Amino acid sequence: MGVLDIWNRSNIGSGEILRSQIGPLLLWFRKIEDELHVAFERLPDPDTIVDATGPVAVNVVESEGLDWGRWIVGAETNVVQVLPIMPDRPVVVHPELPVKIPTGHKALFFVSIPIWLRVLAGEKKPIELCEVPVLILSNTWFGDTMSGELCYSLRSRARRQITDSEPNPSRTICPVKIRNTSPKQLNVERLCVHVEHLKTYSGGKNLWTNGITITFRGEEQVSKIEYSSNPPAFEPVGEILSEARTPVKETILKRSIGSFKLFSGI
């Protein structure tokens, strides 16, 4: 099953049960007359599971003690769909190794971001039922006590190259380019990526977001942050699976807080 296939719509009739898996998260769907029931189940060893299947029919719910959510969607609503979306907060990531960017130089990083899932019901005018993170992330604070913000901390690292490992449909890859136009060397120790401004695309092997370019002008200067309006070109990319939670103009300005703390959003 391709990366795009698992995001297709699936039919579900009254009395039927569907099961889907996106990485370490199982999703259960159950239709009873005009109600649609949805439950989630987290598997152990979440960092090692990359399996993915679209909703498939099963005879019984194999797990006990699930917390079912119930929605009145109408007896005529017989379609469900799961789509990938970005987390609801910025994410903070460290480079794989500490990196220094001399003045006048640039560096490209690839940030692997665990997705959230949006559950929809219906076909012509889909009803948004709920959202759930595929992976539970820890909280972290980025910035000072006055102007900082609550973020998620990524366990994965920002890499300089795309790895050839098995595709992971529970993550999306965000290309981040940093340009240093300041008069001093830039030490990159961590990045705060405002994922709410990113779209999600289906690629041939991976999920992708549009790219970000940060032009760092100095600790006391505003940085120029550009959000590409086009899909990345690192592999063939198909349709947009989800729009940004908060659309933003292609270019914005943001004051940096120290040479080791870069914001990639507003």
Regarding pTM above 0.85, the answer is yes
Quick one: pLDDT band at residue 203, thresholds 50, 70, 90?
confident
- Helix-strand-coil split of the chain, %, nearest 5: 0, 50, 50
| Amino acid in position 143 | G
Q: In what order do the strands lie in the sheet with 149-153?
A: 138-142, 149-153, 91-93, 190-193, 261-264
| Euclidean distance between CA atoms 126 and 182, whole angstroms | 48
Q: How far is CA 193 from CA 109, 111, 138, 182, 264, in A?
A: 12, 9, 15, 21, 5
Q: How far is CA 158 from the centre of its chain?
A: 14
Under the banding of pLDDT at 50, 70 and 90, the label for residue 109 is: very high
Specify the 3-state DSSP secondary structure of 182.
coil
- Give the residue extent of every domain in the chain: 5-84, 87-114+136-264
Beta bridge partners of 95: 158
| Listed range (49-53, 94-98, 219-223) with the worst mean pLDDT | 219-223
Query: Is residue 68 predicted with pLDDT exceeding 90?
Result: yes
Query: What is the average per-residue pLDDT within 75-88?
Result: 96
What tens digit of pLDDT does each residue of 29-58 get? 999 999 999 999 999 888 778 888 888 899
